[in-house]
Amino acid sequence: MSDRPPIPAEIRRRVLVEAGHRCAIPTCRYIDVDVHHIIPWETCKIHEYDNLIALCPNCHRRAHKKGEIDRKSLRLYKANLRFTHDRFSQLEVDVIFELGRQPQAQVMWAPFNRLLLKRLIDSGYIQYIVTPATAIIGGMKSNPDYIQISQKGLDYLETLGEVEL
């Protein structure tokens, strides 16, 4: 253990703030937390934000005990924290995962519902493709616009460990 450098303060802080200085397991949320490596230090030998999660001593033990809280679960808990931190709505979470499953697809989106995706669009995680109006009905453009995941959005999903989910 002596050859293991400490987790850099910046990274440690980011992980703790992400979890609100509480255990990342939503049903636990105990306030005494430590930073845990999702892929064990012995394997990864690097302190990276994407691989770190805040856990209380009890959940930390359970994560180390084989099969109790596995890596996939920890990645899901971390993903949930990221979404909360980024303040995406549940709809936006559903939309980005759906688009991530079909990165080449341009999916129809009703122009009057554009506001529902505001945070995703502002973050640059999806592209919003406006089509010229072909007909206006009741003051609204009747033909759809399109949404598509961006490279930035794909990178974001990858940092969540989506590839492994």
Residues making contact with Zn ion (CB under 5 A): 23, 25, 28, 30, 56, 59
Minimum Å gap between C-beta 30 and Zn ion is 5
Residue 18 CB, shortest distance to Zn ion, in Å, is: 15
Q: Which is nearer to Zn ion, 63 or 120 (CB)?
A: 63
Nearer to Zn ion, 55 or 120 (CB): 55
Q: What CA–CA distances, in Å, run from 59 to 41, 45, 137?
A: 17, 22, 56
Nearer CB in complex with Zn ion: 80/89: 80
Shortest Cβ 32–Zn ion spacing (Å): 9
Closest approach, Cβ 88 to Zn ion, in A, equals 24
* Cβ closest to Zn ion, residue 59 vs residue 117: 59
